Amino acid sequence: MSDKRLIYFADPMCSWCWGFSPTIVRVVERYGSEIPVEPILGGLRAGNTQVLDQKGKDYIRDHWEHVHKASGQPFDFSFFDRDDFIYDTEPACRAVVTMRRLAPDRAMDFLALLHRSFYAEGKDISQAETLAELARELGIDGDEFSQAFESEEAKDETQGDFAVTHQAQIPGFPTLIAGTGEGVLTAITTGYQSWDVIESGIETWLGQKS
């Protein structure tokens, strides 16, 4: 199955991706030893410079409550007590790209860690210091991570991910695409789905390609 791959379009600060996190983790556990799962970072709110106002908080809270109800995933709603938060997802996306550069086999684990840290634990993953601390949890030297994170190569590669997402016309996150060495792509999901749906989709794809 070396020519097969699963491409996961996501953003560390996308609530539906957090809802989907247990499922994509299960995908990696079930299929990852034979089929690489490659994260592509979407840049949901990359480059945003505006402080999140009350209208924005109400909008996001509504999404979080919806995701919680649909997925059962926990949320730390004390996030909405912050007065100066800028919802810029570029640093968190770049952090996953940095991990992908330093330790490709840990990139998906790092994405899951960022999701949990932001949504369930209330950590500010838009901050470089926090991202380096979380990288240490996966055994990566914090100084090495910080240096790589600030590099032009990591910044350029992150923008490259955003461009791929845009060019592929990904309709939303999470999106899971199956591909082969011949370039044939099959959409497994273009939004939140349960494990049963995802497993069925992957198994159907594997049956078609065997």
CATH at residue 111: 3.40.30.10
User: What ranges in the chain are assigned the alpha helix state H?
Assistant: 15-31, 54-71, 90-102, 107-119, 128-137, 142-149, 152-167, 195-209
Average pLDDT over all residues of the chain: 95
pLDDT value of position 195: 97
pLDDT value of position 83: 92
In this prediction, residues 16-41 reach a mean pLDDT of: 97
SS (H, E, C) 80-121: HHCCCCECCCHHHHHHHHHHHHHCHHHHHHHHHHHHHHHHCC
In 3-state terms, what secondary structure has residue 185? strand
Confidence of residue 180 (pLDDT cuts 50, 70, 90): confident
Domain total of the chain: 1
Per the structure, the complete domain to which residue 53 belongs is given by 5-209
pTM for the model stands at 0.95
91-146 pLDDT, tens digit each: 999 999 999 999 999 999 999 999 999 999 999 999 999 999 999 999 999 999 99
- Taking phi over 0 as left and psi of -120 to 50 as alpha, with beta for the rest, 191 belongs to left
Give the burial class of 111: count Cβ atoms within 10 A of its Cβ; 0-12 exposed, 13-18 middle, 19 or more buried.
buried
